[in-house]
Amino acid sequence: MAENKTKATAASAGDYVAAIADESRRRDCDRLMGLMAKASKHPAVMWGPAIVGFGVHRYPLAGGKQGEICAVGFSSRKGDISIYGVTGHPQASELLARLGKHKLGKGCLYISRLADIDLNVMAQLVSQAVEDKQA
């Protein structure tokens, strides 16, 4: 079986965010990094070259093996900020209804900017997702 390409690295999450060219997006990602670290109770760690992750989620694979990815995370993409891992817990749909302007994709939440969402709701999404995955 192929190994997971997205792994925790020693790269600096702060350097990743500082290198974001758009000043507004850089500020949003810096604030989001602080919010997610506080809500998840885990430090920011780079997963691959472009995902700022928090915590570790281990999951079973075929043949008794185990995969691993960040419990929650985000990445600054071309059009939006992609937020990973926050939509699968049982209370997510109720919280998403109160979040504000966002789009949903396959396992991802997309926001254009932090001003479009309720940061308290985002913090709840993050903390509940991490709790759910580490239970």
Q: Is the pLDDT of residue 5 over 80?
A: no
Mean pLDDT, all residues of the chain: 93
Pairing of strands 51-60, 108-111: unpaired
Q: Give me the CATH code for the 13-133 domain, please.
A: 3.90.1150.200
Mean pLDDT for the stretch of residues 93-120:
96
User: Would you list the domain boundaries of the chain?
Assistant: 13-133
Pairing of strands 108-111, 44-47: unpaired
Give the tens place of pLDDT for each residue, 6-63.
889 999 999 999 999 999 999 999 999 999 999 999 999 999 999 999 999 988 888 8
Give the tens place of pLDDT for each residue, 56-85.
998 888 888 888 889 999 999 999 999 999
Q: What span, in angstroms and rounded, lies between the C-alpha atoms of 71 and 36?
A: 11
Query: How many Cα neighbours within 13 Å face the side chain of 64?
Result: 0
Neighbours of 99 (CB within 10 A): 20
pLDDT at 2: 53
